[in-house]
Every structure is written in C-alpha cells, then in structure tokens.
Structure 1
Amino acid sequence: MKIILDFDGTLVDSYHCIPEIYKEIEEKYGFKEGFSEAMLMVEDLGDFFGIFERRDWIIILAKDVAEEILRYYWDERMKRQKVLEDVKAFLENINAELYLVTSKDDDKETKYKRIKATGLEKYFKDIIIYGEDFKDLLEAIEYVIDEKDNCVYIDDKNINIFKVVSRFKEVKAYKRKFYPPFPKKLAWNYPKINVEEIDDLRKLLNVIKNY
C-alpha cells in the first residue's frame, strides 16, 4: 500500500496567514490600498492555473525590492505555518509507504525548508517536488505508483484530484476538507469531483487498513 499526500492544505495550514502577510507588505513597502486584497486574487488564480512563481507577479509591481519582498513572504509563511491537528497521529499509525508529492514554491529549496520546519519529513519514504524534480503533478504520481501496490491519493484541491483520478483510474482518492482565505477558492471548488471528503485524516486509518 502506498499513500501519496499533498503538503499545503492537506498536512499543513500555511494559507490563513497569507492575508496578514500581504497586509504587512502593503504597509511596509507603501503599496496603495487594496494591494493585499488584489494579491489574494492572484494567489487564487495561481493555484487554479498552476502558476507557482510569485517572483513574476512581484517583480512587475516592485522590481527594485522584489527579492526582498519575496524573502519576507516565504520567511513569514514558514514561521506561521501550522501542522494540522490530526496529521501526526495519522502519519504515525498508518501502515503504508508514505510519499509527499507537492508543488515547488518559488524554488525547490524553499519548499524543502518549509517541509523540514514542520518535522514531518521523517515520515515519508520519498519527498517529490514537481515543477523541479518532475515536470508536473501527473509525472510525479506516475513515478510513485506501482501496478503491484494499491495506491491512495489525498489532497485538498479539487483541481489536483481531478487530474489524478482522470489519468490514473486505479488510484483511490480522498479530498481533505480544507479551504483557504481566497476570494473564490477556485482550485478547491473546481472542477467538480466525485470523491469522499475527509475532515480528519484519522478517520482513514481503519478504512485504508482494509484495502
């Protein structure tokens, strides 16, 4: 049995600090009122379309201090991220090979630093960051799955689950119930999917044991 898990929104809440971080950036760098709200819309669109390089957005607005803003954003997001309450009990008690498959941040090293800061890396047989190690999510999943093993995929985003179950019919998927403070929550609501939604990973311990 192999279980593939996403990181942000599935294991860790690193989203609910984002409005506060952008508000601090707005005030610190003198952006006009509305900047923080606009950036939440950009985050929403970025997750939906799979655009992970915030550097490209920031450099348009503040070329001279773009790297400084970017460092502040990721440093603060890493400091304020929180492992979700049910995660450690699930990871410690599940009888399966665990794989962490997640998108890069602005670069591979930033995501690795954020994962290590949670202490969760010790639970995983492998950590795969797509956009760096692999071109995209589907290429990363294809690397992990094996015809000889049952495979479960857990993610909070509809758009990722839709891609995986459409391509890999043999993979059983669960949607982690989690929604960020973004205006439309596009990647979390679309496309519509027909998979079981889980609000506590510990509920899967007995279910997965019987696969």
Structure 2
Amino acid sequence: MCSFLMIIAFDFDGTLVDSYSCIEEAFYRALRRTYPWFPGKRYMAKLLTKIELQFERPRFGRHSGKIKAPMKIFQGKFARIWFEERAKLTKPLEGAREVLKELKREGHIVISFSAEDFIPGVKEYRLRQSGLYDIFDDVIIFGHGVSIKEAFRLVREKYGNETFVWVDDKPWRFIGNGDENTEYVWMYFPYTARFVTKEILDKIPHLHVIYDLWSLLDVLRRLSV
C-alpha cells in the first residue's frame, strides 16, 4: 500500500479502454445506419479508419492540445452515430475497473484526464458508456477551448501540489506539460505505440513505462518509498 496521497490521472482511449480495434466496425455500422443505400460501405469504413488513425499521430509546434475536427465527415449526424457505435464496441482493458477501485481504496485522488472528441460532450458520453465514469473523483476534459496546460492548471488549483501521476498511451502529450512534481507513465498500447520514437521518450523526465494497468501499482509503490 502506498504511504502518501497522489493524484492519479488517466487518459481514456488506449489507456483504460481499447477503443481502437473497433474503429473500422464502428464506421461500417455508422455508414449502414446513416447511408443504407451507399455502396461499398466496408471499403469506405477501411478508408475512414486510415484517415482517423492518422490524427492519432504526434502533433507539435503550434498544436496546443485543443481539439478540432479534421474533416467535415467527423462532424454532424454521421460523426455522432459513429461515436455511439464506437462506444458500444469499446472494451475496458484488463484490470481497468479493479485498478481504479484499488487506487481509490488506497486514498488517492483518481481523475479522468483526457482529450475531448471532435464533438463537445462526446467524451463524457463515452466515459459513461464504458461504466468507468462513476469511479473517478473528477473528470477533466481538455480540447474545445481548453488546452492541456489549462487543464493541468485546473487540477493544481483544485487538488494542490501533491505528486501528479499522469498515465497516457500518447507520451508526446507529456512534453512541455506537467511540472517538477509530475511523474509520467506511458501505457504501452500497440495502436499508438507505433508513433512513439526514442526522440520523444528522451524529452520526458520522470518517465515510467507499463504494459498493463496492474503494473501501475508497482510504479506507485516505488514512488512511495
């Protein structure tokens, strides 16, 4: 059991749930619901999946962590239906619920700290559909009008300067964010790990790498010593 309080912040997609392997099927179902007359829906679903996954790549420079839909197809009725289908098909990663509850039992502050989807309100909807929403002490979503830095400042204002343990499958988000009291935990997830380079990892101080959520408990035990 950890001996002092920490703020444990979790990304959602690829960190607590697998919402990537179902993207293509969700597109197919959304096309079937929205455009039943459209031919070649399986092919179009594959194409849309390739496009969507490109927007999981690291973005640097002027990118501030604010969310913007990459194409018009990711807006409106079709996009909402796609997110609905994706939420139905999303599966929690092994140990997600159990690890969150164990952290709560140990007295830590456990928050959801993730990017909004292209449509405001959808991330909260997907969190609720996953069955994990009510476990969190707080849900903080950055994106539309709120950058990662602004979201992090909000956490500090609400919960103070305790050790902030940030768990995310996209380690490039860590670069230039957080503070001297932040520990960065990269949750290795195959769909996004393909974009991670040594150059990215070398820029991250206090970095820990885990391959499953249960290993996070070992990281916290080491930090508490």
- Tell me by how many angstroms 1:179 deviates: 2.3
Does the 8 A contact of 1:103 with 1:129 survive in 2? yes
Pair 1:75 & 2:84 matched: yes
Structure 1 runs (4+) deviating above 6 angstroms are none
Moved more, 42-51 or 169-178: 42-51
Q: Indicate the residue corresponding to 2:136 in structure 1.
A: 124
- Tell me by how many angstroms 1:81 deviates: 0.5
Q: Indicate the residue corresponding to 1:202 in structure 2.
A: 214
Pair 1:176 & 2:191 matched: no
How many matched pairs? 199
Could you say what secondary structure the match of 1:99 adopts? strand
Q: Indicate the residue corresponding to 2:167 in structure 1.
A: 154
TM-score (norm 1): 0.79
Does the 8 A contact of 1:162 with 1:191 survive in 2? no
Tell me the distance in 1 between the aligned counterparts of 2:54 and 2:183.
27
| Equivalent in 10, 13, 33 of residue 8 of structure 1 | 13
Q: Indicate the residue corresponding to 1:192 in structure 2.
A: 200
Structure 1: where are the runs of 5+ without partners? 60-65
- Tell me by how many angstroms 1:20 deviates: 2.3
Could you say what secondary structure the match of 2:200 adopts? coil
Q: Letter of the 1:137 partner, please give it.
A: I
Moved more, 118-127 or 139-148: 139-148
Could you say what secondary structure the match of 2:175 adopts? helix
User: Structure 1 residues 147, 70: CA separation in 2 closer, same or farther (over 3 Å shift)?
Assistant: closer
Query: Larger % of helix: which?
Result: 1
Tell me the distance in 2 between the aligned counterparts of 1:92 and 1:6.
16
Q: Letter of the 1:5 partner, please give it.
A: F
For residues 21-75 of structure 1, give each alpha carbon's deviation from its aligned partner in whole angstroms, at most 9, with x where no partner exists: 334556743368853343233223323346744473317xxxxxx6332232111
For residues 108-145 of structure 1, give each alpha carbon's deviation from its aligned partner in whole angstroms, at most 9, with x where no partner exists: 3211111111221222121011124x521121112213
For residues 66-107 of structure 1, give each alpha carbon's deviation from its aligned partner in whole angstroms, at most 9, with x where no partner exists: 633223211110100111111112111112101111111122
Q: Percent of counterpart pairs with the same letter?
A: 26
TM-score (norm 2): 0.75
